[in-house]
Amino acid sequence: MKKKEALVVGAGPSGLVAAINLAREGLKVRVFEKENQIGGYPHWHPSAHDTPVGKDLFKYIGIDLWECFKDFSKDFLFVINDEMVEVPIPEGQTPFVCERGGRPTSLDSTLFRIAEKEGVDFVFGKKCTQADLDQAPEVTVLATGLSPEMYEITALPFAVYAGYFGQKEIADQTPKASMFFGGFSKEYGYSSTTNGIYYVLLFSRKEVSEENLAEFKKLVEKYDKIEFDRWKRFMGYTPRTCNLFYKDRYVLSGTLAGVVEPALGFGITGALLSGKISAIAALDRKKGQAEYDRFVGGVPRAIAKKKEPGYFPTPPLVGDVWFDFPTE
């Protein structure tokens, strides 16, 4: 019998998890990826991304990815207004770092290898267009992350995030991270190392001014004792709302579905979780929506909290949006 077809647009973590799960359900899965290779936008990577990982996340998505995640809780600096602060890590929210990009040690490459083993077919250098969407199979998952193109095709309302980052290869392989909060951003900055990559990012909801970047650079030099010759500008597009479906026709996944932890913007855990939920939704809309609501229902409430006077995004406020996996 001919296999049912599925299309996944975007080979980031959410698209790859969706593709693997759909292939395991017996579908013939094709992935369109606009870049010429795995690992997302090459300008941003290789990079080190920090995220808490709930202990049952990998069981839920059906893919064991512990090899990609390193616990940095023993080598973690928390700097608020130029002062080192002790912040207890809430139970179940142990922070991990993972490598992103196209190197063999990255999360992307690991998921890609698993997807290939499951028989997923990849089309690299293929930017999805309106015509592709019009001809897409009934099972289509859109997982285009922080890229602008899908917002040009769809009518999804979006917000733009901006920032600056620096990256360097270093000899030290120890997983480490620092988080910086202060007047230089309404969000925060972080630095992280894993697999010999040092990565630092100043993240902001608005354009970063020269003064704010200079203040952040000074903090990085002071606490991490590292300097960069070159800081690169970054812009990312995120949806203004959380939605699992677009036009009742396409399933959304990862960033595009708004599955980003609301306090500190951890998107990796969200992308992995969301990939599984999208695969469920692509085959059973009602069940997928129930799963989406179970994990993501608290996100709009948590985003609203951000607008309250005096709000400050410390880990205890991260909340239990999707780190607690109820055991079934």
Ligand X SMILES: Cc1cc2nc3c(=O)[nH]c(=O)nc-3n(C[C@H](O)[C@H](O)[C@H](O)COP(=O)(O)OP(=O)(O)OC[C@H]3O[C@@H](n4cnc5c(N)ncnc54)[C@H](O)[C@@H]3O)c2cc1C
CA-wise closest residue to 136 among 272, 20, 285, 282: 282
Give the residue, chosen from 19, 22, 44, 296, that forms a contact with ligand X under the rule CB under 6 A: 44
Give the residue, chosen from 46, 258, 267, 319, that forms a contact with ligand X under the rule CB under 6 A: 267
Distance (Å, whole) CA 206 – CA 203: 9
Distance (Å, whole) CA 129 – CA 298: 33
CB of 47 to ligand X, least distance (A): 6
Is 120 a binder of ligand X (CB under 6 A)?
no
CB of 60 to ligand X, least distance (A): 16
Separation in Å, CA 54 to CA 20, 31, 41, 325:
20, 27, 27, 7
Based on the number of CB atoms within 10 Å of its own CB, is 249 exposed (0-12), middle (13-18) or buried (19 or more)? exposed
Is 236 a binder of ligand X (CB under 6 A)?
yes
CB of 1 to ligand X, least distance (A): 29
Is 165 a binder of ligand X (CB under 6 A)?
yes
Is 15 a binder of ligand X (CB under 6 A)?
yes
Q: Looking at beta carbons only, is 26 or 174 nearer to ligand X?
A: 174
Taking CB positions, which residue lies at the least distance from ligand X?
267
DSSP string covering 279-298: HHHHH-HHHHHHHHHHHHTT
Give the residue, chosen from 49, 70, 176, 217, that forms a contact with ligand X under the rule CB under 6 A: 49
Give the residue, chosen from 10, 46, 95, 258, that forms a contact with ligand X under the rule CB under 6 A: 10
Is 6 a binder of ligand X (CB under 6 A)?
no
Is 9 a binder of ligand X (CB under 6 A)?
yes
Q: Looking at beta carbons only, is 2 or 182 nearer to ligand X?
A: 182
The two beta strands, 245-246 and 76-80, are unpaired
Is 41 a binder of ligand X (CB under 6 A)?
yes
CB of 4 to ligand X, least distance (A): 21
Indicate left, alpha or beta for 184 from its phi (over 0: left) and psi (-120 to 50: alpha).
Answer: alpha
CA-wise closest residue to 32 among 144, 114, 155: 144
CB of 276 to ligand X, least distance (A): 12
Is 266 a binder of ligand X (CB under 6 A)?
yes
- In the chain, how long is the greatest CA-to-CA distance? 65
CB of 238 to ligand X, least distance (A): 9
Based on the number of CB atoms within 10 Å of its own CB, is 126 exposed (0-12), middle (13-18) or buried (19 or more)? middle
For residues 177, 148, 160, 202, the Cα torsion angle rounded to the nearest 10 degrees is: 20
Helices (H), 121-235: 130-134, 149-153, 210-224
Is 262 a binder of ligand X (CB under 6 A)?
no
Q: Looking at beta carbons only, is 136 or 309 nearer to ligand X?
A: 136
Q: How many CB atoms lie within 10 A of CB 254?
A: 32
The residues binding ligand X (CB under 6 A) are 9-15, 32-35, 40-41, 44, 47, 49-51, 127-128, 143-147, 149-150, 165, 201, 234, 236, 254-255, 260, 266-268, 271
